[in-house]
């Protein structure tokens, strides 16, 4: 993490399973509000107190249960907020809240062409100068063309083929400029070849840990905040010189998210790029 970069989070005051828009969500399996609050608090404290990350908070809004997953708000580069265009109407309602927050802080709000879908950092992650971007399940590939044009960078489009890994940040996690965790079955053969071509040291994650959202981790320098119980991934991270910071976020798994989904990198204006 670059020192000036902060993380935007939203307390889970109104979090809950109120609709089903991915295979993880099941209205018969509601989230426990108390446990969710405690888990979120533990994540927040790990980030702020243990790792010294500057976290900014978005005020929760009643009726927007997924506002807690701030990673999907958009993609932030210094001074500019590329707003998401959500696929589902349930989440489209979150958009004005995010935009208002960034506008109030002087960010230029940029929107992708009408008719495209883009779900923010959930589907767009930096590794070096390239933006790895997922498509097909939530974001569509035409949004990638728009992003490339707006940001003047290379956008490597990765087809997501498993509905359980519906956002790129559920199956791909850049660790630094050379390494990334990824879950191979979430991609097609072309996507795996792209990852092998452009990630110097890709680290494959097994089924068990991938389904525990091991890839949905927040990387802070050499520390990796990851769902607890991902034993194999923790071991691998240590072997690569990283320190796993396990946190249990199982209540959020019910909505299809974990650590990374709960935060959006917000680089300051001096910083070149997010992440």
Partner 1 sequence: MVSETVELRGHIIDSLILPKVLDEIMTLGGTFEILHLAVGQRREDPSRAEVRVTAPDAQHLDAILGRIGQHGAISLAGDEARLVPADVDGAFPDGFYCSTHFETWIKRHGQWIAVERPEMDCGIRFDPATGRATTVPMHRVRRGDLIVIGHAGVKVAPIDRSSERNVFEFMASNVSSEKPKAVVIREMAAHIKTARAAGGKVLVVAGPAVIHTGAGEHLERLIAGGYVQVLFAGNALAAHDIEQALYGTSLGMSLDAGMPVDEGHEHHLRAINAIRRIGGIRRAVEEGMLKRGIMHACVAHGVDYVLAGSIRDDGPLPDVITDAVKAQDAMREKIQGVTVGIMIATTLHSIATGNILPASVKLICVDINPAVVTKLADRGSFQAMGLVTDVEPFLRALAEHLVPAVTSRGVL
Report, in Å, the least distance between residue 159 CB and partner 1.
7
Report, in Å, the least distance between residue 94 CB and partner 1.
25
190 in contact with partner 1 (CB under 8 A): yes
How many whole angstroms separate alpha carbon 169 and alpha carbon 178? 17
161 in contact with partner 1 (CB under 8 A): no
Residue 30 or 113 with smaller CB distance to partner 1:
113
157 in contact with partner 1 (CB under 8 A): yes
* Stretch near partner 1 under the rule CB under 8 A, chosen from 10-18, 191-199, 238-246, 253-261: 191-199
Report, in Å, the least distance between residue 237 CB and partner 1.
28
With CB under 8 A as the contact rule, the residue among 13, 20, 162, 188 that binds partner 1 is 188
**Residues binding partner 1: number (CB under 8 A):** 25
**Cβ-based neighbour number of residue 68 at 10 Å:** 25
**Cβ-based neighbour number of residue 117 at 10 Å:** 19
With CB under 8 A as the contact rule, the residue among 17, 47, 156, 215 that binds partner 1 is 156
**Residues from 69 through 98 that contact partner 1 (CB under 8 A):** none
**Residues from 27 through 66 that contact partner 1 (CB under 8 A):** none
Three-state SS string over the chain comes to: CCCCCEEEECCCCCCCCCCCCCCCCCCCCCCCHHHHHHHHHHHHHHHHHHCCCEEEECCCCCCCHHHHCHHHCEEEECCEEEECECCCHHHHCCHHHHHHHHHHCCCEEECCCCCCCECHHHCEEEECCEEEEEECCCCCHHHHHHHHHHHCCCEEEEEECCHHHCCHHHCEEECCCCEEEECHHHECHHHHHHHHHHCCEEEECCHHHHHCCCCCCEEECCEEEEECCCHHHHHHHHHCCCEEEEECCHHHHCCCCCCHHHCEEECCCCCCCCC
With CB under 8 A as the contact rule, the residue among 103, 105, 178, 193 that binds partner 1 is 193
158 in contact with partner 1 (CB under 8 A): yes
**Residues from 127 through 146 that contact partner 1 (CB under 8 A):** 129-130, 136, 140-142, 144-145
How many whole angstroms separate alpha carbon 132 and alpha carbon 173? 10
With CB under 8 A as the contact rule, the residue among 42, 55, 153, 203 that binds partner 1 is 153
Residue 102 or 132 with smaller CB distance to partner 1:
132
Annotated catalytic, 253? no
Annotated catalytic, 261? yes
Per annotation, catalytic residue among 171, 173, 230, 261: 261
Tokens of 129: 């100068």
119 in contact with partner 1 (CB under 8 A): no
Cβ(217)–Cβ(225) under 8 Å? yes
Residue 134 or 257 with smaller CB distance to partner 1:
134
Active centre residues (catalytic): 167, 261
Q: Which residues bind partner 1 (CB under 8 A)?
A: 129-130, 136, 140-142, 144-145, 148-149, 152-159, 188, 190-191, 193-194, 197-198
């Amino acid at each position: 993490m670059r020192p000036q970069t902060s993380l935007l989070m939203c307390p889970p005051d109104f979090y809950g399973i109120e609709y089903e828009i991915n295979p993880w969500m099941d209205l018969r399996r509601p989230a426990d509000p108390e446990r969710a609050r405690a888990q979120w608090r533990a994540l927040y404290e790990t980030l702020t107190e243990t790792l010294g990350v500057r976290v900014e908070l978005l005020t929760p809004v009643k009726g927007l249960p997924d506002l807690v997953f701030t990673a999907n708000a958009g993609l932030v580069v210094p001074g500019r907020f590329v707003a998401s265009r959500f696929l589902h109407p349930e989440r489209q309602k979150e958009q004005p809240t995010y935009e208002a927050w960034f506008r109030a802080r002087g960010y230029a709000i940029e929107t992708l062409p009408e008719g495209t879908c883009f779900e923010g950092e959930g589907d767009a992650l930096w590794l070096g100068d390239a933006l790895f971007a997922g498509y097909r399940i939530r974001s569509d590939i035409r949004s990638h063309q728009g992003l490339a044009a707006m940001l003047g960078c290379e956008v490597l489009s990765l087809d997501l083929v498993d509905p359980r890994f519906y956002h790129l940040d559920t199956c791909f996690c850049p660790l630094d400029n050379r390494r990334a965790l990824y879950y191979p079955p979430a991609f097609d053969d072309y996507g795996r070849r792209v990852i092998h071509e452009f990630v110097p040291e890709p680290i494959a994650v097994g089924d068990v840990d991938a389904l525990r959202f091991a890839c949905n981790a927040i990387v802070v320098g050499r520390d990796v905040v990851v769902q607890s119980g991902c034993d194999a991934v923790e071991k691998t991270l240590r072997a690569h010189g990283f320190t796993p910071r396990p946190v249990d976020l199982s209540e959020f798994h019910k909505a299809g998210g974990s650590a990374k989904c709960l935060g959006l990198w917000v680089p300051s204006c001096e910083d070149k790029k997010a992440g």
